[in-house]
Amino acid sequence: MGKLIISTHITVDGVIGPDPGAWGIFEGAGERHKYDQLLGADGFVLGRKVYEGLAGYWPTVTDDTGFAARTNELPKYVASRTLKEPLTWNASLIAGDLTDGVTDLKRRHRGNLISFGCGELAYELVERGLVDELHFWVDPAVWGSGDRPFHGRQVRMRLIATTSFDSGVVLLTYRPVSGS
């Protein structure tokens, strides 16, 4: 059984969006580390907004690193109250109750499931005790304003690892603490 990992880029002052491409660093050893994590993944768990954003970008991307091919081939499991099947981009809806659906996905997959973003779905997953790790890719930027993790709701975590990269990005790996 794999882990469910929430992974998101964040600025030093806690901004996660709306456009991480404006301030995020997506190169060097940090990207190679992300690719290694992608190789160990069996799929993605995505909310509707992240799914729609990624599905509008990744299917047309090609690269010589294998990152795009791996991203496109992995199954995507989407939590949505408004989308209907069939979905594109190798995606399907998480049927029924979110807790039951994600628990079943974790049980069925040997590799990890990765959830990008840190908004409403991420908060629900943490609150329901479904998240094993949170990966905050801290980019060396202060952005001032923007979206905050979990839409500003409180979540307690325990630091379990740190990794620094040549780009200045620092990966902070946390485990959620019960009773957030």
For residue 180, pLDDT over 70 is answered with: no
Distance (Å, whole) CA 118 – CA 122: 5
Q: Are strands 133-139 and 170-176 parallel, antiparallel or unpaired?
A: antiparallel
Q: What is the pLDDT of residues 58-117, one digit of tens each?
A: 999 999 899 999 999 999 999 999 999 999 999 999 989 999 999 999 999 999 999 999
For residue 140, pLDDT over 80 is answered with: yes
Q: What is the pLDDT of residues 19-52, one digit of tens each?
A: 899 999 999 999 999 999 999 999 999 999 999 9
User: Residue type for 133, please?
Assistant: E
- Read off φ and ψ for residue 69, nearest 5 degrees: -60, -45
> pTM for the full model?
0.95
**What percent of the chain is modeled with pLDDT above 90?**
93
Distance (Å, whole) CA 165 – CA 44: 24
Task: Please name the CATH architecture into which domain 4-176 falls.
Answer: 3-Layer(aba) Sandwich (3.40)
Domain residue limits, the chain: 4-176
For residue 179, pLDDT over 80 is answered with: no
What pLDDT is stored for residue 178 in this prediction? 80
What pLDDT is stored for residue 1 in this prediction? 86
Mean pLDDT of the chain: 95
Sign of CA dihedral 161, 122, 92, 20: negative
